[in-house]
Structure 1
Amino acid sequence: MYNFDLEQPSSVAGAVDALKTEDAQALGGGQTLIPTLKARLASPSKLVSLSAIADIKGIRQDGDTLSIGGGTRHVDVAKGAGAYPALAALAGNIGDPAVRNRGTIGGSLANNDPSACYPSAALASGATIVTNAREIAADDYFQGMFTTALDEGEIITAVKFPIPQKANYQKFEQPASRFALVGVFVAKYADGVRVAVTGASNDGVFRWTEAEGALSSDFSADAISGLSAPDASDMIADMHGTGEYRAHLVKVLTGRAVAAA
């Protein structure tokens, strides 16, 4: 590690002010940032910890919407998001207990790792990402691998999830990291079905629109049996699996998610 300044403001306004310092970096749970600093892949001169901001923690249900503070830990989502069981189950299977007790939903969405679980839940749910400055629809928020619509110094304060009629998340884990080799989140609403895929594409999380159309007409695993798997040409290919393998998993896991939902 190297020397840096650390600030721990108690309000969103204080954090925004602290992040105006040149070369300052927000610190959520630190599950990605700290290893990045150790590997010297980033070296900000100041870290602004968000862990003391009570206003961005907690879970609240308002009618058919579940609002989760950006600073809420994975373990708290797993225990407190009972109104949205598929989301709670997803959070309870992120990483290991150490990760779940430190990592936050806002940190995960801000980082937008291409194999992270939460982006698929947000995109499949048509969630709204709330920041200190505005509200961003999930369809506009995710803009590619490790890329989001967030401006510099913008902080995720909450995520609003419309609660679906049915939903399920299926993750094929990379066993060492417990990230998703492929993960598929399926959510059924009155106006249709949304299917979001993580871990598979070089462009990060994406919606499988062909499956959405088929499932909106017939919400059953049989409805996608005749579909071709997504195009493998832009899928991640590495030591863990080829692009074709990941594309195959997308279809298999979508069917499993629908059956489980």
Structure 2
Amino acid sequence: MHTPTGPAMQAIRLTKTFRSRAAVADLSFSVRRGRITGLLGPNGSGKTTTLRMALGLTRPTSGSVRVLGRPYDEIAEPARHVGAVLDITGIHPARTARDHLRIAQLTAGVSPERVDEVLLAVDLSDAAGQKARTYSLGMRQRLALATALLGSPELLVLDEPANGLDPTGIRWLRDALRSYADSGATVVIASHVLAEMEQTVDDVVVIHGGRLVAAGDLQDVTLGAPLEDAYLGLLRSFEEARRAR
């Protein structure tokens, strides 16, 4: 897989205000290509809003975010470059997994052969003829991931992808994402499940209250401490500094 230089994703003083509340405030960070980056923060910290702005689903109040070197809406054939799973509500319960993927394949403009390839990649080949309403939450997560992979994107953006997966599924997901990043792609995962992120990511971006707390290589940010300890310490220091201002 071709891996150009420059950040795979870059936020520059990114701000989003809903009425009088800033969900994201003056946020700047870069995501290195060919690595797995964890976007970490408590619930309500601005992770999903940040990803929605990156993918052109929410317009920033100010600042900007670039994906693969440009605003998302300037990317031609975006499904071939960026795959995303922000939620799984777009899967029609009355469609089979194969039919869902066939429709997505036509929209993405990729070959029909990719349907069976991604079903195999997410271990859903045997259940491809079942309607989505019969799927467990974990199976729907796998189907959503298969949809994101249809275009063999160079950037994969996932929001809480382990939600609903059992331990075997979580291990499978971790190995699959590592293999995908090792092929030259970039993976961004928003999550608050620190134990899993510690075993999965190369880099972290920690945000709290929509603001940057820390960013960098996992080992540099944690200084060798367990991620949970380092994360809680960073949030505590951030809050103390905020109150002191």
- TM-score using structure 2 length: 0.29
- TM-score using structure 1 length: 0.28
| Relative contact order, higher structure (CA 8 A, sep 6+) | 2
